[in-house]
Chains A and B, each alone.
Chain A
Amino acid sequence: DAGVIQSPRHEVTEMGQEVTLRCKPISGHDYLFWYRQTMMRGLELLIYFNNNVPIDDSGMPEDRFSAKMPNASFSTLKIQPSEPRDSAVYFCASSPPGLAGGTDTQYFGPGTRLTVL
């Protein structure tokens, strides 16, 4: 298996522009997670899906952020409009069904490094 695939790997944009990050989870995994990593705050969960349905989006910082999962093999995280404080590395992870739902290990993609100027 190719693992979790994220694109683009790097994104540089100007403040106010729309940014779309993409993720393809591992086939057969029914949990998908979006994280953000910064030096100040470390890794933070933004949102996660189970069977394409958003379960917990309490970590989404504000309305400028939105995430979708139209099918089992694709998810997007969109920021509109982007701001310099959104600069971070965004990770997508997926997990197979666990005994208590999401209790199995998570497999991380390589991340997208976003820089907003």
Chain B
Amino acid sequence: KQEVTQIPAALSVPEGENLVLNCSFTDSAIYNLQWFRQDPGKGLTSLLLIQSSQREQTSGRLNASLDKSSGRSTLYIAASQPGDSATYLCAVLHSGAGSYQLTFGKGTKLSVIP
């Protein structure tokens, strides 16, 4: 059974700092890995999607890497801003019971202090 773990569960940093969020998964047979952002009381917004054949994806100040063989991904946020405060979830798409499943980690709650 695929399991996704995110460490740390919560993180507080001062504005301007660079930071790394970690995600690990137990089964390397994945189609892709996605990082989502969730704001309080809101749905999820996809930030980056890395296909299984890719090593990294970049969008603005965000960079996500994928090491499928070791079952790890990192989300790097450069020059953090208070507006980056949110919960960040990692999810892997994989096969399960003859269909596709997206399994989520429980997220890292990020607080960027002005």
Contacts from A to B (Cβ < 8 Å): 4, 33, 42-45, 48, 55-56, 58, 91, 93, 100-111, 113
CB distance from B103 to the nearest CB of A (A): 8
**CB contact under 8 A between A110 and B102, given known A56-B96, A103-B32:** no
B99 at the binding interface (Cβ < 8 Å): yes
Give B78-114 interface residues, CB cut-off 8 Å to A.
89, 91, 93, 96-107
Q: Known contacts A43-B91, A56-B99, A108-B45; can you find 8 more A-B pairs with CB under 8 A?
A: A33-B102, A43-B89, A44-B104, A56-B101, A100-B31, A101-B100, A104-B49, A110-B41
**CB contact under 8 A between A42 and B32, given known A55-B99, A107-B46:** no
Task: Give A103 to B49 CA distance when docked, in angstroms.
Answer: 10
Task: Give A61 to B32 CA distance when docked, in angstroms.
Answer: 26
B34 at the binding interface (Cβ < 8 Å): yes
Give B13-42 interface residues, CB cut-off 8 Å to A.
31-32, 34, 36, 41-42
Task: Give A4 to B100 CA distance when docked, in angstroms.
Answer: 20
> Which label, helix, strand, loop or mixed, suits the secondary structure of the B interface?
strand
Task: Give A93 to B104 CA distance when docked, in angstroms.
Answer: 14
Give B32-79 interface residues, CB cut-off 8 Å to A.
32, 34, 36, 41-46, 49, 51
CB–CB B46/A91 < 8 A: no
**CB contact under 8 A between A105 and B49, given known A42-B104, A42-B106, A42-B107:** yes
Task: Give A45 to B91 CA distance when docked, in angstroms.
Answer: 11
CB distance from B90 to the nearest CB of A (A): 11
CB distance from B108 to the nearest CB of A (A): 12
Subset of 7 A-B contacts with CB under 8 Å: A43-B44, A43-B104, A56-B97, A56-B98, A105-B34, A108-B45, A111-B43
CB distance from A38 to the nearest CB of B (A): 10
